Structure 1
Amino acid sequence: MRRTRRRDGGRGLAPDWRALLLGVAGLALAGTMVVGSLPEGSTASPGPPESRAGETGAATQARTHDPVPLAEPEECGDDEPFDPAESPLGADRTLGDAVSAIKDAGELVVGVDQNSYRWGYRHPESGDLIGFDIDLAQAIAEDLLGPDPRVIFRAIPTAEREAALERGDVDMVVRSMSITCDRLRHVAFSIPYFDTGQQLLVPGHSGITGLDETIDGLTVCSASRSTANVELVRRDHGAELMEMPNHLDCLVQVQLGLADALMTDSALAAGHIAQDPSMKLVGDELTTESYGVAMRPDDEDLVRWVNAVLEEYLGDEDDSRWQDSFDEWLRDYLPPNAVTPPEPRYRD
């Protein structure tokens, strides 16, 4: 039976209305499509003024917490290698069918999230899509199509990422998508471009300390078909589970007092904390995961092309477009020195 929660300092959470309005606005954007080239200098666009007012508190929280220990990486077995990526194309960048089709069309169609603050979201004044994932999509599009590329962004829910590729709705997905053994059966991934792990996010006043006895009988929200959802289903914890289309939906449920916690990876949680500094991460990271750019398994030439772009994009820790993007969007909301560019790893 679901436990009733009070709104007078008990288990419930009186909503922070400023953050709640941001969340509801984000939900209203789901499912739309943005067509056109990314504006020059979009990576330097500031975040929403109303959100940046809370950044000092969020940055202080991030910088005063040491990185939590990571769980062991997932092992897929001998017949399903965890390192999924094909070697990058050489300097000649030989064209294959998938890359040729994109060049012939003169546009790149990318599945993205526009509800993840600091990762992929709309600037409220300009309407531009901005964030860490958008920067990466921009770099790939520029390499494929040249300066000022035509990019079609299709906003897709978490549960639709693989289906959008299978239907041919998008050429690739750049949407904080973790490389997992199950997903490797359906899509091809690039080399990793960000390392993270699943963790609980709770209101600042919460007594929850992790996925332990303090969560028993309470409600934990996760995005449908997300890695967080898989972890919550397979673990014993005694919590009631709630599923929503996107992880931002879960943040709204917690702000409304309809859920006690949400689970997502700590990288996306950094965006939630930036948006709502009253939230905090608790407990250990329960998984070791890496984001990759997802593509169709038959598009091997595109996978190899993207890997070549990523090798240059990741660069070295002190001088790369990856580092510039990280400093712009995420540095203030993650523990210092907790995240560095992943090392490229390949199947062959």
Structure 2
Amino acid sequence: MAHRTPPEARPAARRTVRTGRTGNGRALLLAAAGLALAAVMLVCTVLDGGTGGRPPSFPDLPGSVEEAEQAASERIRPAAEPEVCPDGSDPADSYAPSPGGPDDGEAVRRIQERGALIVGVDQNSYLWGFRDPENRIVGFDIDLVRAIAEDLLGPDPDIVFKAVPTSERIPLIQDREVDMVVRTMSITCERWEKVAFSTAYFEAGQQLLVPRSSDITGLDRTLNGQRVCRADGSTAADLLERAGAEGLGASIVPAANHLDCLVLVQLGEADALMTDSALAAGHAAQDPAMHLVGEPLTIEPYGVAMHLEDTDLVRRVNRVLEEWTSGGTNSGWRRSYDRWLAEHLGRADPAPPQPRYGRG
């Protein structure tokens, strides 16, 4: 592949670059202090719940060690099934695609009158959104951004990329600092209360990434005494809290981005990273000393996130996704998959998720 050079580790911060008719604009500043910042962010939390070492997540542990371990293993291992919202709906349900043109609403007109699309992206996720050797932001998510921008603004669209940490994705949308976020963002019931999503364009699942020399085999008793890093505001953070990882004797190490977690593992400041399996595959491609262990613990659809009020923009994006994912092996989705992901994910017959429009 032409873009195998991994991006440099950078501290988590907002950065903006404009591309398109105005040229490349100013490039994002590279921060050599990234490793040091990631290390300073390390926080290890070990909880014993005041029960003499007995994990508070398991108040009724059986008497024997073997029974306790078995009960813990069964209790914290989530089933890899799609999430179902409290009302019985699928979080991947979105709004039906718009026909485009004069039927579009205020959000689409705002972008077109501005003449530029402002998008929150990642510049540190190898294969998805990262800096290539020519300092361009490229990857699977970026290909989708360009398809959306071309539909809204025509050929050679003006795109303003804002590189943001995981924890700031939703606030940026709510504050209208970006029109949308395209950043391997999982669609969840809880997030639908804060932002709106397109229908899904990819599916992944939470999984542990560890050094090949590690004895960790998954979200199980091999985590005893280990430090597990996860990004703030991520579904990995929610999963570890829900699963009660401390109940297995693990310490949780928070960081602003999953790349910061990778750096902490490489520095020996953490023992494992939990993140989406698709993102973890990019990390393993960057660092062959790392590998995925266990099975995916969840099934999580990725969607384009937008402001709750911008339903016309959601419908327009869904129209773009219908076109981008149609055509089988000749679709834009498949061409992008073959370029960036095929070598590292190795799915036998890759295809986008089926669109869902349960919100009307």
Q: TM-score, normalised by structure 1?
A: 0.82
Distance 1:145 1:301 in 2: 15
Counterpart of 1:111 in 2: which secondary structure? strand
Partners of 2:287 and 2:79 in 1: CA distance: 25
Q: Find the counterpart in structure 2 of residue 86 from structure 1.
A: 95
C-alpha displacement of 1:251: 0.4
Distance (Å, rounded) in 2 between the aligned partners of 1:170 and 1:80: 28
* 1:319, distance to aligned residue in structure 2 (A): 1.9
Distance 1:281 1:314 in 2: 28
The separation in 2 between residues aligned to 1:32 and 1:264, in whole angstroms, is: 23
The question of 1:276 aligning with 2:259 is answered no
1:32 deviates by 1.4
Partners of 2:139 and 2:101 in 1: CA distance: 31
Q: Could you tell me how far apart the structure 1 residues matched to 2:152 and 2:257 are?
A: 30
1:72 equivalent to 2:81? Answer yes
Structure 2 residue aligned with 1:343, among 321, 332, 354? 354
**TM-fit CA distance, 1:78:** 1.5
Given the superposition, is the C-alpha separation of residues 103 and 252 from structure 1 closer, same or farther in structure 2, using an over 3 Å criterion? same
CA distance in 1, matches of 2:259, 2:290: 13
In the other structure, the counterpart of 2:56 is none
For residues 34-73 of structure 1, the aligned pairs below 5 Å read: 34-37=17-20, 71-73=80-82
CA RMSD of aligned residues (A): 2.2
What percent of counterpart residues are identical?
Answer: 53
CA contact (8 A) 1:29 1:115 kept: no
Q: Is the counterpart of residue 175 in structure 1 residue 186 in structure 2? A: no
Task: For residue 338 of structure 1, report the CA deviation from its aligned partner.
Answer: 6.6
Report how many aligned residue pairs link the two structures.
299
- Say which structure, 1 or 2, has more relative contact order (CA 8 Å, 6+ apart): 1
Partner deviation per Cα, 1:296-325 (whole Å, 9 max, x = no partner) = 010011000000000010114322000000
Match of 1:107 in 2: 116
1:178 is paired with a residue whose SS is coil
1:26 maps to 9
Question: Contact 2:100 / 2:316 at 8 angstroms: preserved in 1?
Answer: no
1:304 corresponding residue in structure 2: 315
In 1, distance between residues paired with 2:299 and 2:139?
23
C-alpha distance in structure 2 between counterparts of 1:93 and 1:282, whole Å: 50
Distance in 2 separating the partners of 1:321 and 1:221: 34
- Contact 2:210-2:271 at 8 Å conserved across structures: yes
How many Å apart are 1:112 and its aligned residue? 0.3
Kindly provide the amino acid, as one letter, of the partner of residue 153 in structure 1: F
Structure 2: distance between partners of 1:153 and 1:320: 24
Pair 145,70 (structure 1): closer, same or farther in 2 beyond 3 Å = farther
Give 1:189 deviation, angstroms: 0.2
Structure 2 CA distance for partners of 1:28 and 1:221, relative to 1, 3 Å:
closer
Aligned match of 2:38: none
Aligned residue in 2 for 1:326: 337
Per-residue CA deviation, residues 127-149 of structure 1 (Å, 9 max, x unaligned), is 11100100000000000000000
Deviates more, 1:84-93 or 1:106-115: 84-93
CA contact (8 A) 1:70 1:284 kept: no
Q: Structure 1 residue 336: deviation in Å?
A: 2.9
Structure 1 position 35, deviation (Å): 1.2
Give the structure 2 partner of residue 149 of structure 1. Answer: 157
The one-letter code sitting in structure 2 at the alignment partner of 1:340 is A
* Contact 1:38 1:128 (C-alpha < 8 Å) held by counterparts: no
Deviations 1:124-178 (A, max 9, x none): 3x11110010000000000000000000000110000000001110000000000
Deviation at 1:29, TM superposition (A): 7.3
Read off the aligned partner of 1:106 and give its amino acid letter.
G
Assess if the C-alpha contact under 8 Å between 2:9 and 2:263 holds in 1.
no
Q: Could you tell which deviates more after superposition, 262-271 or 31-40? A: 31-40
Q: Report the AA paired with residue 136 of structure 1.
A: L
State the partner residue of 1:55.
none
Range with bigger deviation, 171-180 or 326-335? 326-335
Q: Match for residue 127 of structure 1?
A: 135
- DSSP-derived class of the 1:257 partner: coil
Alpha carbons 1:119, 1:132 under 8 Å: kept = yes
Matched, 1:191 2:236: no
CA contact (8 A) 1:71 1:285 kept: yes
Cα distance change, pair 84–320 in 1 and its aligned pair in 2 (3 A):
same
Over 3 Å counting, the alpha-carbon distance change for 1:38 and 1:218 in structure 2 is: farther
In terms of Rg, which structure is larger? 2
Q: Secondary structure at the match of 2:229?
A: strand
Q: Which moved more, 1:326-335 or 1:80-89?
A: 80-89
CA distance in 2, matches of 1:229, 1:203: 20
